[in-house]
């Protein structure tokens, strides 16, 4: 309560005016959220005009315990200082506050003091709080991005696409970032407050939050739960009974809320696209322009030799299980836009940040920020983790046959496999933008190999001249639940008939190359006439692959050709992405804020078996919090199931309702409805 005998009545934070000017009105208009380097105003309400010769002073506290104290100067000051000016108007004083463009982001409390002519404190307001965020609209801020269309996407868009599939069959996953949903900003700062640095030295951590390099690196470490009180626990073995399967999530907000409500307890489970989606939400919310990125045929080179080595025995059984070198069908990370004042000139702009826990960096599972330009130019010594990101997009794939006596023979070298079709969502709509050229020079170009050598690696050479037998693997579009043919062609480009032994295997694998089981194997002895081709057909039945196929619906076909009586060995491999059905989502009603809408969702079982335990997950930023709907019954082959739910939109604008369906034998079936919501 204000003191009736005093001067101060209270403070109006002018939340609506400020949030509109600072582009935070989507977040909250009941609380004050402002961006650094841009003035904002408060209205000091008084019972009477200020006494003559009395002065106003302003104090800010920052940090979880208010451990950092900032005195706001009462006269114009340099751009590196907090200062305010006042303007009296009857029973109000308008206070315009100027923050430095390099002030630490965080939750501040503000108190206004009334000072006597000799400087004694006579009265002070009850402290009010506000959040200060990064400001990519401010030229002096190190996250400044001078393009309004890019900011609309990389800061303000709450919906996006995460790219999945394989390099030759790219698919997109709609994702609800939801960075402006209720309480998300509080959770973002809660994540920072739970970092090891914040818990051990809060004052230094608070000061370091002025730097987007520090903040973004902290977020990549905290999004995964490997070392700390991080958000998401990763799992890739298909055993998700004690949590949520990674494929079920349709957005970041339920994950962030679950983590916060459980008292900073890890959320089970995520995989790379989940980590990147959550990181993108947090970084956009804090005001750092961020976009999700997918790299196809992404290398995980554990020994740093810029080669990914695959080892097989003569029966095509993998003998490289003890090694962790592997190629992921795709891998997702994020890029954030910022200056790199900690590096030599020329490394500002997009920085790769990878929150998926793969390798330790400075003892912690995090990766980046790494300048994308350093990756392209082979500057692998640049902070942070440039060598690891370089290998993700540039490693050579070398395949070896290991013989019983331990000798091994290099059977293939592929310098073009890794780092293909690097993708992000376009700012101009829901379609893919290819950004491969930002990461690497054209495959096979002189410049690309120069960069490879600059990165400290001798260029690998193929073994000897090409042989006279060549292998190709072809397949029609494969649909989950159906039988399909894989055709292996053996071409004899030489002048003599050639006898050979052909082994073809098909294995169910995850998107990051973990084997889930062999589906089918075929061996054949054949003689290929000179200048002719032999075709071998492998019929893959659902009976073969249905029981072991992973939630990523991938079949890897490997063909090994051994020329009889000669050391010549040829190996080819393809990943076949099984096409998935889609959900049908239709929203009925007038899309107006707070008016009831009904979503009708239907799914037809494409498999020749009955599905059990079906569950639909629905969410949408500005539409509805995440909800689950159980399928009413088991779903027989070819049977359709329909469910509906009602919801009331909370915010106007272009909105997307995301739906996922999971059951015991099928996961990751997605659907989406787009609607334009109007204010009342």
Let me know the angle formed at the C-alpha of 68 by 62 and 71, rounded to the nearest 5 degrees.
90
Residue 560 lies in a domain: yes
Greater pLDDT, 310 or 179: 179
Residues 592 and 572 in one domain: no
How many Cα atoms within 13 Å fall on the side-chain side of residue 408?
14
Tokens in use for 315? 């029966």
Greater pLDDT, 321 or 271: 271
Residue 460 lies in a domain: no
In the set 15, 188, 272, 366, the catalytic residue is 272
% of the chain surpassing 70 pLDDT: 96
Residues 179 and 306 in one domain: yes
pLDDT at 571: 86
User: CB neighbours of 636 closer than 8 A, spacing ≥ 6?
Assistant: 605, 610
Residues 310 and 341 in one domain: yes
Greater pLDDT, 169 or 215: 215
Neighbours of 612 (CB within 10 A): 12
Residue 51 lies in a domain: yes
pLDDT at 458: 52
The C-alpha atoms of residue 506 and residue 515 are separated, in whole angstroms, by 10
pLDDT at 3: 56
The C-alpha atoms of residue 611 and residue 629 are separated, in whole angstroms, by 16
Residues 398 and 383 in one domain: yes
Q: What are phi and psi of 279, to 5 degrees?
A: -60, -40
Residues in the chain: 680
Choose the final residue of a domain: 99, 133, 167: 133
Is residue 331 among the annotated active site residues?
yes
In the set 301, 354, 660, 662, the catalytic residue is 354
pLDDT band at residue 242 using 50, 70 and 90 as cut-offs: very high
Burial class (CB in 10 A: 0-12, 13-18, 19+), 620: buried
| 147 appears as a binding residue in the annotation | no
Residue 39 lies in a domain: yes
pLDDT at 74: 87
Contact 141, 135 (CB under 8 A): yes
| 448 appears as a binding residue in the annotation | yes
| Least-confidence region, from 18-32, 48-62, 559-573 | 559-573
Give whole-number Cα distances, 477 to 547, 578, 603, in Å.
20, 8, 21
pLDDT tens profile 232-241? 999 998 899 9
Choose the final residue of a domain: 428, 455, 482: 455
Give whole-number Cα distances, 276 to 161, 220, 575, in Å.
11, 9, 23
The C-alpha atoms of residue 232 and residue 356 are separated, in whole angstroms, by 10
Is residue 385 among the annotated active site residues?
no
pLDDT at 464: 47
Residues 336 and 254 in one domain: yes
In the set 22, 98, 300, 331, the catalytic residue is 331
**Which of 188-192, 408-412, 568-572 has the highest average model confidence (pLDDT)?**
188-192
| 396 appears as a binding residue in the annotation | yes
Nearest to residue 195, comparing CAs of 230, 169, 160? 230
End-to-end CA distance of the chain: 36
Flag whether pLDDT at 322 surpasses 60.
Answer: no
H/E stretch holding 509 reads: strand 498-509
Question: Residue 421: which region, alpha, beta or left (left: phi > 0; alpha: psi -120 to 50)?
Answer: left
3-state secondary structure 533-559: EEEEEEEECHHHHCCCCCCCCEEEEEE
Residues 571 and 588 in one domain: no
Burial class (CB in 10 A: 0-12, 13-18, 19+), 407: exposed
Query: What is residue 418's three-state secondary structure?
Result: coil
CATH number, domain at 226?
3.90.260.10
Residues 509 and 571 in one domain: yes
Between helices 212-223 and 184-193, what is the axis angle to 10°?
90
pLDDT at 1: 44
Flag whether pLDDT at 139 surpasses 70.
Answer: yes
pLDDT at 499: 93
Contact 538, 524 (CB under 8 A): no
CATH number, domain at 542?
2.60.40.10
Residue 451 lies in a domain: yes
Residues 555 and 651 in one domain: no
Residue 463 lies in a domain: no
% of the chain surpassing 90 pLDDT: 76
Flag whether pLDDT at 146 surpasses 70.
Answer: yes
Q: What are phi and psi of 18, to 5 degrees?
A: -70, -45
pLDDT at 399: 82
Tokens in use for 319? 């003998």
- When pLDDT is averaged across residues 353-374 and rounded to a whole number, the result is 84
Domain that holds residue 24: 8-133
pLDDT at 49: 87
Q: What are phi and psi of 183, to 5 degrees?
A: 70, 0
- When pLDDT is averaged across residues 558-576 and rounded to a whole number, the result is 86
Tokens in use for 629? 């709907």
Is residue 20 among the annotated active site residues?
no
- When pLDDT is averaged across residues 601-611 and rounded to a whole number, the result is 96
- When pLDDT is averaged across residues 564-572 and rounded to a whole number, the result is 82
Flag whether pLDDT at 461 surpasses 60.
Answer: no
The pTM for the full model equals 0.94
Residues 193 and 302 in one domain: yes
**Which of 140-144, 305-309, 364-368, 564-568 has the highest average model confidence (pLDDT)?**
140-144
- When pLDDT is averaged across residues 586-601 and rounded to a whole number, the result is 96
Residues 568 and 508 in one domain: yes
How many Cα atoms within 13 Å fall on the side-chain side of residue 391?
24
pLDDT tens profile 188-228? 999 999 999 999 999 999 999 999 999 999 999 999 998 77
Residues 396 and 486 in one domain: no
Residues 245 and 370 in one domain: yes
Output the average pLDDT for the chain.
Answer: 92
Q: What are phi and psi of 460, to 5 degrees?
A: -70, 140
Residue 140 lies in a domain: no
| 450 appears as a binding residue in the annotation | no
Choose the final residue of a domain: 555, 577, 599: 577
Number of domains in the chain: 4
Residue 630 lies in a domain: yes
């Amino acid at each position: 309560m204000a003191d009736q005998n005093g001067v101060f009545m209270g403070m109006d934070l002018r939340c609506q005016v400020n949030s509109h000017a600072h582009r935070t009105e989507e977040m909250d208009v009941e609380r004050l959220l402002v961006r650094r380097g841009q003035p904002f105003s408060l209205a000091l309400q008084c019972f009477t005009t200020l006494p003559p010769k009395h002065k106003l002073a302003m104090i800010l506290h920052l940090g979880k315990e208010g451990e950092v104290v900032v005195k706001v100067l009462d006269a114009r000051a340099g751009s590196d200082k907090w200062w305010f000016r006042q303007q009296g108007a009857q029973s109000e004083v308008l206070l315009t506050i100027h923050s430095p463009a390099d002030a630490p982001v965080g939750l501040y409390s503000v108190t206004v003091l009334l000072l006597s002519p000799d400087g004694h404190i006579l009265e002070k307001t009850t402290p009010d709080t506000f959040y200060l965020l990064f400001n990519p609209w401010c030229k002096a801020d190190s996250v400044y991005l001078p393009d309004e269309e890019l900011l609309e996407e990389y800061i303000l868009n709450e919906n996006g696409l995460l790219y999945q599939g394989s390099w030759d069959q790219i698919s997109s996953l709609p994702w609800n970032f939801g960075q402006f949903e209720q309480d998300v900003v509080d959770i973002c700062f809660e994540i920072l407050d739970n970092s090891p640095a914040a818990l051990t030295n809060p004052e230094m951590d608070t000061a370091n939050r002025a730097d987007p390099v520090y903040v973004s690196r902290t977020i990549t470490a905290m999004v995964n739960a490997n070392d700390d009180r991080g958000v998401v626990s990763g799992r890739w073995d298909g055993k998700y009974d004690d949590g949520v399967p990674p494929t079920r999530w349709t957005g970041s907000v339920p994950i962030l809320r679950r983590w916060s409500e459980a008292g900073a307890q890890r959320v089970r489970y995520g995989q790379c696209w989940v980590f990147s989606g959550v990181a993108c939400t947090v970084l956009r919310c804090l005001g750092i322009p961020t976009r999700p990125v997918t790299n196809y045929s992404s290398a995980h080179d554990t020994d740093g030799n810029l080669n990914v080595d695959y080892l097989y025995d003569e029966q095509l059984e993998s003998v490289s299980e003890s090694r962790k070198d592997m190629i992921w069908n795709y891998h997702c990370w994020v890029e954030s836009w910022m200056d790199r004042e900690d590096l030599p000139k020329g490394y500002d702009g997009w920085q790769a940040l990878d929150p998926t826990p793969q390798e330790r960096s400075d003892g912690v599972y995090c990766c980046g920020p790494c300048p994308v330009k350093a990756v392209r130019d082979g500057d692998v010594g640049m902070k942070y983790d440039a060598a690891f990101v370089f290998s993700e997009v540039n490693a050579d794939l070398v395949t070896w046959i290991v013989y019983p006596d331990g000798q091994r023979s290099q059977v293939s070298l592929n310098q073009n496999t890794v780092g293909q079709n690097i993708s992000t969502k376009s700012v101009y709509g829901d379609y893919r933008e290819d950004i491969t050229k930002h990461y690497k020079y054209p495959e096979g170009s002189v410049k690309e190999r120069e960069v490879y050598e600059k990165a400290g690696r001798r260029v690998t050479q193929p073994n000897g001249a090409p042989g006279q037998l060549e292998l190709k693997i072809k397949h029609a579009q494969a649909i989950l639940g159906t039988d399909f043919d894989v055709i292996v062609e053996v071409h004899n480009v030489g002048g003599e008939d050639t006898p050979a032994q052909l082994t073809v295997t098909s294995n169910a694998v995850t998107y990051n190359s973990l084997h889930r089981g062999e589906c089918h194997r075929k061996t054949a002895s054949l003689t290929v006439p000179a200048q002719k081709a032999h075709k071998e057909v492998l019929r893959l039945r659902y009976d073969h692959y249905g029981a072991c196929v992973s939630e990523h619906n991938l079949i890897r076909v490997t063909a090994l050709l051994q020329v009889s009586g000669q050391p010549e060995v040829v190996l080819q491999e393809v990943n076949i992405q099984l096409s998935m059905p889609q959900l049908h989502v239709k929203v009925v009603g007038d899309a107006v804020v707070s008016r009831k809408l009904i979503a009708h969702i239907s799914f037809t079982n494409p498999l020749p078996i009955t599905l059990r335990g079906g569950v639909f997950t629905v969410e949408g930023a500005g539409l509805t919090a995440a909800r689950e709907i159980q399928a009413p019954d088991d779903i027989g082959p070819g049977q359709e199931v329909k469910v509906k739910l009602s919801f009331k939109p909370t915010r106007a604008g272009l909105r997307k309702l995301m739906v996922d369906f999971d059951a015991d034998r099928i996961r990751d079936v997605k659907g989406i409805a787009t609607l334009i919501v109007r204010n009342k």
